[in-house]
């Protein structure tokens, strides 16, 4: 009962479409601009870095909150199920007719609440990849791949490692259209004005 309650609460928290709400304050439907995504990158491109960073912080807060909700109601299993609930909420929001974002920021919040050290390692990989490739999408996927790897190297509980693998697969799946554009050479690069 408590597990289900934790997952439901976390799903609703994850479902809050921060990017949509922030863009709406400027009279913009972010789902009709740029890539159509509701996350940090698209908000940044269309409204500027200040708004993008604000969305990043709040989307990460959803992930952190979900982990804390899970901890309140139970152990590691409840914590991770609640975290997964938030990721599903962000990706398939009940407030957006089950559409949503690509879970990178919310996933980062989850990982931050679980292990700041793993988050730091993933951030270094993300920034390094971004500096070399200028692809935000590729950098996000590389950071996601880093998460379960770093968890395993640090000897974390196997449940966390399994969750990290699921998170990695989830992120890559949500970026499948970006992968196609990278392969075709049409993906947006940081520093270019063109929007995809």
Give domain limits for the chain.
2-184
Print the SS3 string covering the chain: CHHHHHHHHHHHHHHCCHHHHHHHCCCCCHHHCCCCCCCHHHHHHHHCHHHHHHHHHHHHHHHHHHHHHHHHHCCHHHHHHHHHHHHHHHHCEHHHCCECCCCHHHHHHHHHHHCHHHHHHHHHHHHHHHHHHCCHHHHHHHHHHHHHHHHHHCCCCHHHHHHHHHHHHHHHHHCHHHHHHHHHCCCCCCCCCCCC
pLDDT of 192: 65
pTM more than 0.85: yes
pLDDT tens-digit series, residues 31-75 = 999 888 999 999 999 999 999 999 999 999 999 999 999 999 999
pLDDT tens-digit series, residues 69-105 = 999 999 999 999 999 999 999 999 999 999 999 999 9
């Amino acid at each position: 009962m408590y597990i289900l309650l934790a997952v439901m609460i976390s799903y609703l928290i994850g479902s809050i479409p921060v990017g949509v709400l922030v863009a709406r304050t400027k009279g913009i439907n972010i789902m009709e601009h740029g890539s159509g995504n509701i996350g940090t990158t698209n908000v940044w491109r269309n409204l500027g870095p200040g708004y993008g960073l604000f969305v990043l912080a709040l989307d990460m807060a959803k992930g952190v909150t979900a982990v804390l909700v899970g901890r309140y109601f139970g152990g590691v299993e409840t914590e991770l199920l609640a975290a997964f609930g938030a990721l599903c909420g962000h990706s398939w929001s009940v407030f957006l007719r089950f559409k949503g974002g690509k879970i990178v920021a919310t996933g980062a919040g989850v990982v931050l609440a679980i292990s700041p050290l793993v988050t730091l390692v993933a951030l270094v990989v993300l920034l390094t990849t971004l500096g070399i490739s200028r692809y935000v999408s590729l950098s996000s996927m590389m950071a996601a791949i880093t998460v379960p790897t770093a968890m395993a190297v640090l000897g974390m509980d196997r449940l966390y490692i399994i969750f990290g693998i699921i998170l990695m697969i989830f992120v890559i799946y949500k970026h499948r259209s970006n992968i196609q554009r990278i392969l075709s050479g049409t993906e947006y690069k940081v520093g270019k004005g063109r929007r995809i």
